[in-house]
Amino acid sequence: MTTRDMEIEGDLELLIPVAEIPQNAKCRTPSSSSTVGSSSHRLSGLEAISKVVRSWASKKFMTGCVILLPIAVTFYITWGFVHFVDGFFSPVYDHLGINIFGKYNIAGLGFATSITFIFLVGIFMSSWLGASVLTIGEWFIKKMPLVSYIYSSSKQISAAISPDQTTNAFKEVAIIRHPRIGEYAFGFITSTVILQRSMGEEELCCVYVPTNHLYVGDIFLISTKDILRPNLSVREGIEIIISGGMSVPQIMTTKDAQTIPAARLFKYPSSKMASSALICDTQPWKNLKAHVEDIKKTHLRDLLSDTERCNSMMVEFDGIVLDYSRQQATVDTVDKLYNLAEAAHLQEKIHRMFNGERINSTENRSVLHVALRAPRNAVINSDGKNVVPDVWNVLDKIKEFSERVRNGSWVGATGKPLTNVIAIGIGGSFLGPLFVHTALQTDPEASRFAKGRQLQFLANVDPIDVAKNIAGLSPETTLVVVVSKTFTTAETMLNARTLRAWISKELGPSAVAKHMVAVSTNLTLVEKFGIDPNNAFAFWDWVGGRYSVCSAVGVLPLSLQYGFSIVEKFLKGASSIDQHFSSASFEKIFLENQAASGTFRFVERMECFISWISCKSHLTLLPSLGEICPHIQQVSMESNGKGVSIDGVPLPFETGEIDFGEPGTNGQHSFYQLIHQGRVIPCDFIGVVKSQQPVYLEDALAYGKTAEQLQKENVQQHLIPHKTFSGNRPSLCILLSSLDAYRIGQLLAIYEHRVAVQGFIWGINSFDQWGVELGKSLATQVRKQLNASRTKGEPVEGFNFSTTTMLTRYLEESSDVPADPQTLLPRI
Ligand SMILES: O=P(O)(O)OC[C@H]1O[C@](O)(CO)[C@@H](O)[C@@H]1O
């Protein structure tokens, strides 16, 4: 139902009795109602007017009641109270012959007397004598069965608001995360307690959370660090509870938030991304470094025996569970990481990214891949322009085009439907779409939609790849999608020329218009290549190649294969993580608490810092997720393999993870020996509930196997050193409830943000790739040399000894290769 429909329905509800509305009232045209007699028209018109008038009158009457009722109740109760207290001392005054309610009424005399009396009791009870009298009195009261209960309850409540904080009063208002992640409860700190365990001491607070006004509630023992302390007095807290939450202030700050200058809370200076100071020079970095050395002394098996710690390191969001309890980290580590995040201005940097600021400063570009999956009505600006409508124009165009191809209304040059798609592209124009395609193949819904269709990718320039790609395919039923952000990448253009030649040769040059489309930011070059600009799908310079899978780069080939509706789910999954990552409440929570406590919304980002401690990561996956490895390799290693800070200052520490992995148990039969007994390599395990959960392996890495255990198992003495596993090897588990388009989108966004956060912390530019550019220019130099040697016989020069020797040898042995091949069509 649209919003308009809902509005109409609402109007009908208000004005016309439901029983009289025909089912199709909303859609009825004037002519369809003309059979109804004119008198009934008049009748229903009068009825409607009468109902409107009645509805108006009743609304106004209720408004009057709503305003007058609290005033009347307040006066009534106040008057009753004054009267009651006035009458409290009436027997005394009666005795003195003063009739306070009679003819010589001295209104308020009894009230004043009562107040004075209460005041005097206060003074007396504060004295030693008063306290002794009270103790004796209480002793008697507590002996009386029912009375003792009434007395203790009333005493607790009055103690709660007692100005004497040495009593068992509510000491402070507290907000705790309860009853589950993402929800909070108001409570009162009543006392603190030190919990002594084998791992050390921990201070806990007793937090009383009222469940039925103030009289009944639960007591929680919570680590002092996990308590949020709002800027509210105990009295204000009690008011909130008694009013059922109605008196809660619209904006609440925590006490520690006071130390954050107001300007930093919601405004970020737009000049520079961060100060040029390196993160390694900050105190939080040094603290964390020292802490890391310290934590290494505690074996993971001991850390894992602390259920409370493990529980706090398990988070869940929108169907994804993240368990980082097998990281060499304690709650204290997480705190220190928050401090580090603060020092790195992480929050500001994320905010700037979503705000479309040109945070890719070396290329002077915004970084807005999040806009590619934003809902249609979102507003994300780049240079003051909302980019979301442009994104959706392209998505709509893809939807329309892919539907035409899929339903056979767009056919090839010979009139046959195009059931095969070859997507040519390399790097970011290939790896992301390949990952999603491979993962979608096991989603039953997606594979149903892909029935009878085939999607292939062509990236490499080895002629064998081309041959493999076109083997068994006919150009008549094939659509080629050339994907290149720049439309200049040598490998892609060579492959594009090759397939253009393949199509032209079989179907004639005019067939190219029907059989080739493009995805690029460079529409001029697309046209020059010979592809109709109407058949080009744009994206923008604010989308980095490796972050482009949600642009037409991935959406077009995937929609052709699975239909747009499936791809839209994938975009929605990624968007869910984006919103979570940037949500206002997260920002508020994070800033207000100065990142002091582990909040759920932040935790996804935490794990990457933890991995960072040892700077390496590896992924172990389900077969269907196999292609995430190469994709993450590019996203992570091309983004964060940097040697200078964003300001160009050489970094005295190493950046970048080395990511590698294998799907399923292939890794077990390949490199797991090394991760068990060789180097320590932090691992990410991605599991899917409906498939498998490789938890046994994570535990093996964490716990290991000791010599004592082996002895008990009667293992031969000389084999014990070989069969011993040190354990203490960190890993992370991401568990997805299923592997469908939505979850794949979520997974993609989690890794993209993880990489961005790492870069933000290290203070580098994760969005340029000058290292790759160097590789490209070196390749060009070599290509020019080979061409000059082959066509003009020029000697190899300008290279070092090794390269010169190898190039010369290559030239000698490949004398039959053409100078600069225009295509790579297999020579059959
Ligand atoms: O899409 P293009 O321009 O062909 O570039 C392909 C890839 O080349 C790189 O620039 C370097 O590998 C990547 O970032 C990019 O994804």
Tens of pLDDT, residue by residue over 57-88, are 877 777 777 677 767 777 787 777 777 766 76
Strand ranges in 700-820 using DSSP code E only, listed in sequence order: 731-736
Higher-confidence residue of 608 and 129: namely 129
pLDDT at 384 over 60: yes
Q: Whose CA is nearest to atom 10 of ligand 1?
A: 545
Residue 560's alpha-carbon distances to 403, 456, 556, 569, 671, in angstroms, are 8, 11, 6, 15, 37
Comparing 458-462, 476-480, 584-588, 618-622, the range with the smallest average pLDDT is 584-588
> How much is the pLDDT for 243?
80
Mean pLDDT, residues 719-730 taken together: 89
Please state the rounded mean pLDDT for residues 800-810: 90
**For residue 50, what pLDDT is reported?**
83
Q: Is the pLDDT of residue 405 over 70?
A: yes
Smallest Cα–Cα separation from 44: which of 19, 9, 26? 19
If you take atom 16 of ligand 1, which residue's CA is the nearest one?
Answer: 428
- Percentage above 90 pLDDT, the chain: 36
Average confidence (pLDDT) over 777-793: 88
Q: What is the mean pLDDT of residues 498-524?
A: 96
Answer with the residue of higher pLDDT: 80 or 9. 80
Catalytic option among 41, 776, 794, 797: 776
- Residue whose CA lies nearest to ligand 1 atom number 12: 427
For ligand 1, the distance from its centroid to the CA atom of residue 102, given in whole angstroms, is 97
Distances, alpha carbon 136 to alpha carbons 132, 141, 368, 477, 748, in Å:
6, 9, 73, 99, 70
**Residues 270 and 351: beta-carbon distance below 8 Å:** no
In this prediction, residues 736-764 reach a mean pLDDT of 89
List 385, 416, 669, 784, catalytic entry: 669
Tens digit of each residue's pLDDT (9 = 90 or more) over 655-714 = 887 888 877 677 778 888 888 898 888 788 888 776 544 556 778 888 999 999 999 999
Contact present, 12 and 25 (Cβ < 8 Å):
yes
Give the list of residues 6+ apart from residue 548 with CB closer than 8 angstroms, or none. Answer: 369, 372, 428, 429, 432, 485, 539, 554
d(CA 294, CA 698): 23
Span of 170-184, 205-219, 390-404, 738-752 with lowest mean pLDDT: 170-184
- How would residue 12 be classed by pLDDT, with cut points 50, 70 and 90? very low
> Whose Cα sits closest to atom 4 in ligand 1?
484
CB-based burial label for 171 (10 Å; 0-12, 13-18, 19+): middle
636 CA → ligand 1 middle, Å: 14
For the ranges 17-21, 31-35, 117-121, 421-425, the maximum mean pLDDT occurs at 421-425
pLDDT at 202: 74
Judged on CB neighbours under 10 Å (0-12, 13-18, 19+), 352 is buried
Structure confidence at residue 163 (pLDDT): 54
Say how many Å lie between the CA of residue 169 and the centre of ligand 1. Answer: 65
pLDDT at residue 611 tops 50: no
Least confident of 8-17, 289-298, 416-425, 451-460: 8-17
Mutate to test the pocket of ligand 1, among 365, 367, 429 (most ligand atoms within 8 A of CB): 429
- The Cα 609–Cα 749 span in angstroms is 17
Statement: 288-357+584-762 belongs to CATH 3.40.50.10490:
yes
The string of DSSP codes covering 549-571 is TTSHHHHHHHHHHH-HHHHHHHH
Query: 491, 568, 607, 638: which is the annotated catalytic residue?
Result: 638
For position 180, what pLDDT does the model report? 61
Q: Which residue has the higher pLDDT, 796 or 165?
A: 796
Stretch 626-646: mean pLDDT? 91
In the reported structure, the alpha carbon of residue 488 is separated from the centroid of ligand 1 by a whole-number distance in angstroms of 9
Nearest-atom index, ligand 1, CA of 553: 1
Identify the residue with better confidence: 182 or 185.
Answer: 185
The residues lining ligand 1, judged by C-beta closer than 6 Å to any ligand atom, are 426-429, 484-486, 489, 492, 545-546, 769, 772
Examine the pLDDT at 502 and tell me if it is beyond 70.
Answer: yes
Whether residue 776 lies in the annotated active site: yes
Q: What is the pLDDT of residue 600?
A: 25
- 602: pLDDT strictly greater than 50: no
- Band of pLDDT at residue 106, cut at 50, 70 and 90: low
Index of the ligand 1 atom closest to the CA of residue 428? 16
Stretch 334-363: mean pLDDT: 87
Question: Please, what is the average pLDDT of the chain?
Answer: 79
Q: Is the pLDDT at 723 greater than 70, yes or no? A: yes
pLDDT tops 60 at residue 650: yes
Query: Looking at residues 400-405, what average pLDDT do you find?
Result: 98
Radius of gyration of the chain measured on its C-alpha atoms? 36
Nearest to 681 by CA among 669, 667, 663, 664: 667
- Is the pLDDT at 145 greater than 60? The verdict is yes
Examine the residue annotation and report whether 491 is marked as an active-site residue of this protein.
no
Residue to mutate (ligand 1; options 489, 633, 637, 770; most atoms within 8 A of CB): 489
Model pLDDT, residue 617: 52
User: Is the whole-model pTM more than 0.80?
Assistant: no
pLDDT band at residue 586, thresholds of 50, 70 and 90?
very low
- Nearest CA owner, ligand 1 atom 14: 545
272: confidence class by pLDDT, cuts 50, 70, 90: very low
* C-alpha closest to that of 16 among 53, 48, 58, 61: 48
- Residue 267 pLDDT exceeds 90: no
% of the chain exceeding 70 in pLDDT: 79
Domain 381-569, CATH number (from 3.20.20.70, 3.40.190.10, 3.30.1050.10, 3.40.50.10490): 3.40.50.10490
Cα-to-centroid distance, 787 and ligand 1 (Å): 24
CA gap 531, 536 in Å, rounded: 7
Beta-carbon contacts of residue 737 (< 8 Å; ≥ 6 apart) = 319, 320, 688, 689, 690, 743
How far from the centroid of its chain's Cα atoms is residue 310's Cα? 21
Q: Give the end-to-end CA distance of the chain in Å, rounded to a whole number.
A: 59
732 contacts 605 by C-beta, under 8 angstroms: no
Residue 618 has pLDDT above 70, yes or no: no
Q: If you measure from the C-alpha of residue 644 to the centroid of ligand 1, how many angstroms do you get, rounded to a whole number?
A: 21
| Average pLDDT of span 421-437 | 97
Q: What is the pLDDT of residue 568?
A: 98
Cα 626 to ligand 1 centroid, rounded to whole Å: 21
Euclidean distance between CA atoms 277 and 665, whole angstroms: 44
Q: Is the pLDDT of residue 101 over 60?
A: no
**Which is it for the CA torsion 408, 411, 416, 419, positive or negative?**
negative
Cα-based torsion angle of the residue sequence 37, 41, 43, 45 in order, rounded to the nearest 10 degrees: 180
Q: Is 828 helix (H, G, I), strand (E, B) or coil?
A: coil
In total, the chain counts a number of residues equal to 828
